Structure formats: structure tokens, C-alpha cells
Homo-oligomer: A and B are copies of this chain.
């Protein structure tokens, strides 16, 4: 939950395994991470980011309110950092999917399964993206839209190289990928709304069905 990627400014020769290499300015990174985690944690309780208070966040992070300003100008800036971080998770998913290659048989079903598992494994990030993608602060919504558009573009490139829809113009392929992505993000909301123990099977089935219809239509599409 609080495991977080460190990005040391100057990675010297690692002496040991953990917590040793860089200066102790890593303490800063730790509380910064605590603040980010606190915000995500609060949203996991069913709150929207916009309604989070600065003091509230620092309280959960276990820091005094004034410490917040050592890391972010205001909660708004924290939100933009959350966008970046969540977008990183999106790209990581795409990278892993790329590494796994394209399963020729039952590709959609497999992809949806992997996706659903990934959403659950990165619950907080998807909760933020899917939740703040609409509503909430216009600036944050815009930032998310940019990241999602970029993600869509990358997905489009991948599909283009796979040559699944050779007859589609780049624009058509892009639009279809946009449809696919928004459908997947809608599915993420549904998955995250599930009671903790429940299976996502039904949602996965729906998602598979919808995506198959889209892909069927895309295969037969002819730009006039």
C-alpha cells in the first residue's frame, strides 16, 4: 500500500541493499510519499480528491500541517503529482502487456483478465484516474485527459504494429482506441465498486462482450 518507487537524485554505488545509498534527504521523499499515500488512502474511503483538506491529509500522513508546504504549494499541486504517478501506472501496464506479446487466441478475453487483475493490484491509482477523469477540478481533469490521450495514442501505435486492422486509417484506429480505452476505464470504475470479496467475473464478461462487438465492427469498418 505504501510501497512506492524511489527515484534517488544521484544513485551512487549502492553499499548495501536498502535505505543506504543516497543522502538522508531520503527522509523528505518518505514524508512526501506519506502525503501522497494519505491522499490516495482518503479517496479509497469514498471521498473525492476535491473534498480533501490539507490538514486532513497531513493528519493521515502523520505529519504536522505546515510540513505539507515543504513538498507542495497546495493540495492542487498534489493532485497534479497524483496524475503523473497514476499515468505512470498506466504506462507500466502497457509496457507489461507489450512484453507479454499479443496472444493470438482469445486475445480479448486474456487482455481483459490481465486488465482486471491490474486494476485491483493498483486500486488506488485507478480509483484516482477513473474517479477524477470526470467531475472535480477542471485542471486536474484536463491533466488526466492529456495522459489518457497519450495512453490511447500509444495503444494505437501498438495495435497498428500488430496489424490487426490493416484497412483502418490512422484516425479511425485512434478513434476506436479511444472507444476501447474509455470502455476499459468505465469497467475499472465497476470493478473498483465491487464489495471487497466479490468476483469481477461478471464485469469481465460484460467487458469482453462489449470489446468483441467493437472489434468486430472495427474489422469490418471501411472508411468511405
Contact = CB atoms under 8 A, between A and B. Distances in A.
Contacts of A134: 130-131, 133-135, 189
A17 B214 CA distance: 52
Interface string A119-139: 000000000001111111110
Interface of A: 46-51, 130-138, 141, 172, 175-176, 178-179, 182-183, 186, 189, 193, 206, 209-210, 212-218, 220-221
Contact of A46 (B51, B137, B193, B217): B137
A215 B218 CA distance: 10
- So how many copies of this chain end up in the complex? 2
A213 to B, nearest CB: 4
* Dominant SS among interface residues on chain A: helix
A50 B130 CA distance: 16
Nearest to A137: B46
Contact of A213 (B49, B51, B176, B212): B176
A50 B214 CA distance: 35
A175 B215 CA distance: 15
Contact of A210 (B49, B132, B136, B175): B175
A46 B193 CA distance: 25
Contacts of A50: 47-48, 50-51
A137 B135 CA distance: 12
A210 B179 contact: yes
A-B complex: 6 closest residue pairs judged by Cβ atoms: A217-B217, A131-B135, A216-B217, A213-B217, A50-B51, A48-B50
Contacts of A220: 216-217, 220
Contacts of A221: 212-213, 216
